[in-house]
């Protein structure tokens, strides 16, 4: 169980903890920093200790980490996040996804998993997801995309260039 390290950096309180992230298919512990609050709103005590309000924020941040229940972190890869979502089988509201829906998601993931780049979640943007949806829909519908549509213009290194053969 972690207590974390509470620090002031510049004008902000930060919490430093070590969290498990998936890297190359292996779970490794990495230091992660969480921005808590401005220092001018929560002044340290005369001996330098953080105030009770900051400690409460820390406890709130540490609860899911210490219990092993957390959302996908930006350092996780896109593949590992999708795999953990499919393994958990829970929707955004925390309720189980219908079995038939989960079955189709797993089927689709098996087909496309080798085509998904090994990219951290922090590097995935909404246009990437929209592009992937359009690409996947074109495969299912049997339509062909032009070579200009095969690659998003805003992220030249995220998706490998390939011809639509």
Residue 33 token pair = 């920093």
The range of the structural domain enclosing residue 100 comes to 78-141
Widest CA span of the chain, in angstroms?
69
Q: Residue 150 falls within a domain, yes or no?
A: no
pLDDT by 10s per residue, the chain, length 165: 778 889 998 999 999 988 777 676 677 788 888 888 999 998 888 888 899 899 888 888 888 777 666 555 666 777 877 887 888 888 777 788 899 988 988 898 888 888 777 777 777 777 777 777 776 677 666 665 554 455 444 443 445 544 444
**For residues 65 and 46, is the Cβ–Cβ distance under 8 A?**
no
What DSSP letter does each residue of 89-120 carry, written as one string? TB-TTSSBPPHHHHHHHHHHHHHHGGGS---B
Give the angle subtended at the CA of 5 by the CAs of 65 and 72, to the nearest 5°. Answer: 30
Q: Residue 160 falls within a domain, yes or no?
A: no
Q: 61 and 83: one domain? A: no
pTM: 0.46
Q: Residue 121 falls within a domain, yes or no?
A: yes
Q: 60 and 93: one domain? A: no
Q: What's the number of domains the chain is made of?
A: 2
**For residues 93 and 39, is the Cβ–Cβ distance under 8 A?**
no
Q: 36 and 13: one domain? A: yes
Find, among 10, 9, 51, 2, the residue nearest to 31 by Cα.
2
Q: Residue 146 falls within a domain, yes or no?
A: no
**For residues 60 and 12, is the Cβ–Cβ distance under 8 A?**
no
Q: 82 and 131: one domain? A: yes
């Amino acid at each position: 169980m972690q207590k974390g390290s509470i620090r002031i950096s510049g004008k902000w309180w930060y919490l430093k903890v070590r969290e498990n992230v998936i890297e190359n298919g292996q779970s490794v512990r990495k230091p992660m920093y969480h921005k808590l609050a401005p220092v001018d709103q929560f002044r340290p005590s005369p001996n330098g200790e953080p105030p009770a309000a900051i400690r409460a924020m820390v406890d709130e941040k540490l609860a899911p980490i210490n219990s092993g229940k957390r959302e996908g972190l930006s350092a996780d890869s896109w593949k590992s996040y999708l795999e953990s979502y499919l393994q958990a089988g829970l929707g955004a509201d925390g309720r189980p996804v219908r079995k038939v829906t989960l079955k189709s998601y797993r089927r689709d993931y098996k087909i496309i998993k080798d085509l998904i780049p090994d990219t951290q979640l922090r590097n995935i943007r909404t246009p990437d997801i929209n592009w992937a949806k359009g690409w996947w829909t074109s495969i299912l519908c049997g339509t062909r995309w032009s070579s200009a549509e095969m690659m998003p213009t805003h992220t030249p290194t995220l998706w490998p260039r390939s011809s639509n053969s």
